[in-house]
Amino acid sequence: MNARNALPATAPLHVASVFGWAAAAILLGSVLALSGLPGLYALIILATLIVFAAVALRFPALTIGASIWCLALVPFSWGITTGVLPKLFGDESLLLLYLVVFPALYLSQSRTWQPGFRSIYWALVLFLFAQSLAFLAGSDLVAFRNFLETDALGVLLLVVFLQESANSAETEWIADSVGWLTFLIAALSLIERIVQRNPVMEHNAAVAYISPELVRITEGVYRPYVSFFHPSETGTFMALGVPFALRRWMQRRSFISFAIIAVIAGGVFVNATRGVWLGIAVATLLLARNPLLIVLSAIPVASIGATIGYLAFRTTPFMQRLTDPNNFYSRLVYWMLALKVFSYHPAIGIGHLQFKNVYLAYVHDISNTAHFDISKIFAIDNMYLTTLVEHGIIGFIALVATLIFLGLSLGRLRKRLLTSHLPAQASLVRSAQLALVTYSVTGCFADIHQFTKVTKYIFILMGLGFGIGARYLHAATPAVVPEDSNDSISMKPCRE
């Protein structure tokens, strides 16, 4: 009797469902027929967002890691011309998808918004405001695009990765993925160096696309293995991941971990970027208990090693580049010229990325000390001087203050983790802090804040450091802190 009564009740539902889906299909087909290709593209984009949101919801750590690897390994030149902005770059694709679906994940309560970072958010807003003032002095489309995909996008990514890593339980996996990525870039750098210096490749037509001759013709822009625009950017990207690889080695002390460190060291060495070497050295010294003693002990050893290395390899292009005095003199010319330009525009500077367009107006005498073409200066090779010239004293103070504030905030977070007896998580936060130190020191010798990959990467690593630390602090703190606590890192509990 119950079965007979169930049939009439379910049949209308099936009919309604069929008619409903049929009507939806007809409506969708009509819209696509009327709109043509734009409608089809919109449908593809919508489907992509839905799939990406579903994957990010189910596998947050995997999605975070994939976004970072996409940024690192997709060539900088791959992209789609949109007609509005110069390009929609391929290495930003997963990051931009994250930005689009990010609000929906939290509005739908699929994620828990982590409180207590108000002061960090305000510091980032003030940083962006101070940097954007330079556009009042001068700008162009390239400068606007660079600012959007470095500082503006970087700040957004810090917030996204902070919240996402705070909601992910697989923080060790994320940290390990950064270390493995650093190893892969270093290995590819070594392969690139071997191939480009291998005479077999010179006359082998079958592998012409990776020949060193092609690399020389394009002045190093064509890099088939390491897909960064400039060797300094490749070196800095590797350097920012070194603290995470060192952390893995110090925890495991295995042969594999040691081999990873050795490959990374080799990749950084053949990259031949001296500012990167100094940045890694300073960050590594901060891990030591007595850094001053290490420096004093290393000076004679380094001096003897440098002397032997120079005598053995002084005829190689690598050693000639390292010991070329003209490189040092040219930097002095850049820096003195930058200070001269700054003296005429002290407040908000000359505009983002405008130095190469205006500096010749301030050249009144040419010195023969440095042998280079004065009309072909493309960068000042110093992040701080570049900011001083292009963004003025306001932008310079904002940059330095933001770096110091983020570093101190990570330091406070690390101390709280140690107090809560969470040394493993504290070491993760310290890795992010050391990456910031490396970035700040390397910036003394290159305009790395204009490197789009590196700048986004350092903001991402800062977000990971804050988010990972906050997650474990919240989990280890059952008591609720009073609501008037607005410190940079609160200890309010969060819903898992």
pLDDT tens figures, 212-231: 566 565 555 555 667 777 78
Confidence (pLDDT) at 319: 65
Instruction: Out of 81-95, 182-196, 329-343, pick the least confident.
Output: 81-95
Q: How many CB atoms lie within 10 A of CB 323?
A: 12
First and final CA of the chain: distance in angstroms? Answer: 48
**pLDDT tens column, 83-140:** 555 567 788 888 988 888 888 888 877 778 888 888 999 999 999 999 999 999 888 8
* pLDDT above 70: percentage of residues in the chain: 71
Confidence (pLDDT) at 410: 93
Confidence (pLDDT) at 219: 54
Confidence (pLDDT) at 493: 34
Instruction: Out of 117-121, 247-251, 364-368, 391-395, pick the least confident.
Output: 364-368
CA distances from 303 to 225, 306, 308, 315, 332 (A): 34, 5, 9, 19, 24
CA distances from 488 to 115, 161, 430, 435 (A): 10, 16, 16, 19
**Section 475-481 average pLDDT:** 50
Are residues 238 and 461 in contact, defined by beta-carbon separation less than 8 angstroms?
A: no
Nearest Cα to 77, choosing from 218, 175, 171, 190?
Answer: 218
Confidence (pLDDT) at 57: 83
Q: Per-residue pLDDT for 481 more than 90?
A: no
CA distance linking residue 93 with residue 84, whole number of Å: 17
Confidence (pLDDT) at 155: 94
Split at pLDDT 50, 70, 90, the class of 327 is low
Split at pLDDT 50, 70, 90, the class of 475 is low
Nearest Cα to 168, choosing from 407, 418, 471?
Answer: 471
**Section 138-151 average pLDDT:** 86
H or E element that contains 60: helix 60-73
Split at pLDDT 50, 70, 90, the class of 312 is low
Return the amino acid letter for 230.
Answer: H
Q: Per-residue pLDDT for 156 more than 60?
A: yes
Mean pLDDT of the chain: 78
pTM, full prediction: 0.81
- Give the residue with greater pLDDT, 171 vs 468: 468
388: left (phi over 0), alpha (psi -120 to 50) or beta: alpha
All residues at 6 or more sequence positions from 141 whose CB lies less than 8 Å from its CB, including other chains? 86
CA distance linking residue 339 with residue 341, whole number of Å: 5
Are residues 456 and 157 in contact, defined by beta-carbon separation less than 8 angstroms?
A: yes
**Section 172-189 average pLDDT:** 90
Q: Per-residue pLDDT for 476 more than 80?
A: no
Confidence (pLDDT) at 490: 40
